[in-house]
Chain A
């Protein structure tokens, strides 16, 4: 069966510090990978998605970046965090194929102080 791992579960970082969140998927090959952000009490905002190694699509301009160094690894990064980067970050995967649902990790709660 397929599983998705996302870490860390919680993170408190000062403004201006770097960020690296990691997500890995097991049990499948060539998944589509996604990073979503959920601000407190809000809906989900797509940040990045990837359909293959090295292929990253950005949905919103921001100081975040994403990378996919391996087929089942997706990394969200920032060189300098802003207060507005606080939120709940969710990694997700789906099989290629139009009707496949997204499957989410447990999320990372980031607080920028």
Chain B
């Protein structure tokens, strides 16, 4: 079955530290899509990034970067020079279109950035 694991339940860092959020997934197909979402205290989920299974190129967007490694089935998310506004729950998600329209979410990692 589809499965997404985020082993880190909670992480606390001090502002300006770098932090990496881990995501490991299990798939049944060669074509799949991975996503990261941010859920701030207000509750709404904000889409951050999408990755296709056939594109392993890492991506950087400002202080955010993503490391996709098919060999280890991981899609890790790094925040550089963290800020208090980064405090949120972060979810990794997997979509396998061949098996329906469901998005499977990991349990989330709660990140607290302390001033």
B103 vs chain A, min Cβ distance (A): 6
Give the interface size bracket for B toward A.
Answer: 20 to 34
Binary per-residue interface labels of chain B (8-31) against chain A in the complex, 1 for a CB within 8 Å, 0 otherwise = 000000000000000000000001
> By the criterion of a CB under 8 Å from any partner CB, how many residues of chain A are at the interface?
24
Q: Are B107 and A99 touching (Cβ within 8 A)? A: no
CA distance A42 to B109 in the complex (A): 10
CA distance A57 to B40 in the complex (A): 29
Q: Does B64 contact A (CB under 8 A)?
A: no
Q: Are A43 and B50 touching (Cβ within 8 A)? A: no
| Among candidates A34, A88, A102, residue contacting B43 with C-beta atoms closer than 8 Å | A88
Q: Are A104 and B52 touching (Cβ within 8 A)? A: no
Q: Are A105 and B101 touching (Cβ within 8 A)? A: no
> Given contacts A51-B101, A57-B101, is CB(A44)–CB(B91) below 8 Å?
yes
Q: Are A103 and B105 touching (Cβ within 8 A)? A: no
A2 vs chain B, min Cβ distance (A): 12
Chain A residues with a Cβ under 8 A of chain B: 32, 34, 36, 42-44, 46, 49, 51, 57, 59, 88, 90, 92, 98-99, 101-107, 109
Write 13 A-B pairs (CB below 8 A) sorted by A numbering. A34-B103, A36-B105, A43-B106, A43-B107, A44-B45, A46-B103, A51-B101, A99-B52, A102-B93, A103-B47, A104-B45, A104-B46, A107-B43
Chain B residues with a Cβ under 8 A of chain A: 31, 33, 35, 37, 42-47, 50, 52, 91, 93, 95, 97, 100-108
